[in-house]
Amino acid sequence: MWVLLGIAVIVAGFVLRFNPLLVILVSALVTGIAAGLDPVAIIAAFGRAFNEARYVSVVWLVLPVVGMLEAFGLQERARALIERMRGATVGRLLTGYMLLRQATAAVGLISIAGHAQTVRPLVAPMAEAAGDRQAEVLGEDEREEVKAWSAATDNVGVFFGEDIFLAIGSILLIKGLLEQYGYDIEPLHLSVWAIPTAIAAALIHGFRLWRLDRRLNRLGLAEDGA
């Protein structure tokens, strides 16, 4: 159980608002030492993980492209598209995005969308435009809330959709952990049982988005009455 000290380090580090990278590094060191690994083995594990995840640096190629598209009016075009769509609301837009995100994640297309690629340049501006139609003009607090809902919807979609894809890292991690305790479960079985969870997540988050729509609609009616 001493290996769980790493989790305590992460919780304490985030509560005290230390640098996240430093917190994770210290947590990994504490976990490795508690597991009986020597410092050389811990550093070797860091190097192996970095070597196996070199593709992470590809995200830095995406950011300049997104920045260039934004400079040439990508957000404005996205807002204009929503303004031309009758019946578009924040809840309906984000629900559709969540289902799309779940479907693509379920077949392994995790990086096809995300906060940097789609939420900031496309989804959030489109949701803001829909919110302006519902509530006449969103206040600053409501605008920030809509942005937060956009980011949260992406998280829900990908988190509960990716486990349906049997070759994803999380499924392999679960399988490896269970094998350590003597449970030999095929990745396909884990993926199948991830489907009800994904459906439940879609229904629950969809209900929350519906409630958000109702609140924005009431806000718009109150402003009309004023």
pLDDT in tens, 167-177: 777 787 888 88
- What pLDDT shows up at residue 207? 97
Tens-place pLDDT, residues 177-198: 888 888 888 888 888 889 999 9
Mean pLDDT for all residues in the chain:
82
Tens-place pLDDT, residues 81-139: 777 777 788 999 999 999 999 999 998 888 888 888 888 888 988 898 888 888 777 78
What residues have CB less than 8 Å from 52, skipping those under 6 apart?
Answer: none
- What pLDDT shows up at residue 187? 83
- What pLDDT shows up at residue 50? 63
- The 3 state secondary structure assigned to the chain is CHHHHHHHHHHHHHHCCCCHHHHHHHHHHHHHHHCCCCHHHHHHHHHHHHHHCHHHHHHHHHHHHHHHHHHCCHHHHHHHHHHCCCCCCHHHHHHHHHHHHHHHHHCCCCCCCCHHHHHHHHHHHHHHHHHHHHCCCCCHHHHHHHHHHHHHHHHHHHHHHHHHCCCCHHHHHHHHHHHHCCCCCCHHHHHHHHHHHHHHHHHHHHHHHHHHHHHHHHHHHHHHHC
Domain ranges of the chain: 1-52, 56-225
